A = this chain, B = another copy of it.
Amino acid sequence: MVDHSQLTEAEYLAQYNVQDFDAPLCTVDVVPFRFHNHRLQVLTCLRHQHPAKEQWALPGGFIDISQDDNLDTTAQRKLAAKIGTEAPYLEQVQTVGNQQRDPRGWSITVVYYALFPGSAANQVLLPDTRWLTLQGNTVGQLLAFDHNQLISVALERLQNKVQYTSLPVYLLPECFTLADISDVFLAILGKTPPMRSIRNRFLNEDLLEDTGEKRYGSNRPATLYRLKKTAVAQFYNRLYHTTQ
């Protein structure tokens, strides 16, 4: 190897080769959540290449250093390749790295999660792409690599975050009722805060607007709301007690 103690930075960079060093593999994986039939689901794809060939895995893969501006771009590109629509909510959760998680050797993955509206239900899926229903902390089947654990990590973040944000609305279609929000809490946390508390929080000036429409059943019809055009994710400064 070159002795570069005497080089200028330009000379150093000219002789520098990334591949001279043992580096970990580096990927981005996204946990795409949706709320469908009163359950939380995660999108997975069947792998056609080694390793973990013919196993189901989260959307994700290598950073394309010639195309991707930054890690968020990579995450969005991986999502776009599997779901046509852009995620209304995308957030980086954690980076996991160790020797064991990939048979090719030491690897790290930057884990994101994305929230999709339930209406993503109607969308045509690519072949070999499936929404798997959450059971407990992860999906009910064994996924490639450590992807079951990555789902747990993302879910845990989501569980914490719905306690003090307006995130549940990103899992709902354009129009929804307050009872729908309650159902989202139930799917994510296994419990739901009292409707009184949900109403107090979600029916504020900046978040929702009454569509004027109602959802009819064999009972009093429920008001349908939609996200205000100007709405952004809101943060509240207390947690619910009843969901802990």
- CA gap between A5 and B54 in the complex, in Å: 12
- CA gap between A94 and B95 in the complex, in Å: 8
- CA gap between A5 and B86 in the complex, in Å: 31
Within 8 A of B (CB), among A194-244: 237-239, 241, 244
By the criterion of a CB under 8 Å from any partner CB, how many residues of chain A are at the interface?
47
The chain B residue with its CB closest to the CB of A110 is B95
Asked whether A121 is an interface residue with its Cβ less than 8 Å from the other chain, the reply is no
Q: Which of B51, B68, B239 contacts A13 (CB 8 A)?
A: B51
- Min CB distance A50 to B, Å, is 4
Q: How many copies does the complex hold?
A: 2
Contact with B along A86-126 (1 / 0, CB 8 A): 00000010111111000111101010000000000000000
- CA gap between A94 and B94 in the complex, in Å: 7
The answer to whether B104 and A21 touch across the interface, beta carbons within 8 angstroms, is: no
- Min CB distance A163 to B, Å, is 8
Q: Which of B13, B21, B63 contacts A103 (CB 8 A)?
A: B13
The answer to whether A9 and B110 touch across the interface, beta carbons within 8 angstroms, is: no
Asked whether A1 is an interface residue with its Cβ less than 8 Å from the other chain, the reply is no
Q: Which of B25, B71, B98 contacts A23 (CB 8 A)?
A: B25
Contacts of A12 in B (CB 8 A): 50-51, 53
- CA gap between A242 and B149 in the complex, in Å: 39
The answer to whether A23 and B26 touch across the interface, beta carbons within 8 angstroms, is: yes
Task: Please give the residue numbers on chain A whose beta carbons come within 8 Å of chain B beta carbons, in ascending order.
Answer: 4-5, 7, 9, 12-13, 16, 18-19, 21-26, 49-53, 62-63, 65-66, 68-71, 74, 92, 94-99, 103-106, 108, 110, 237-239, 241, 244
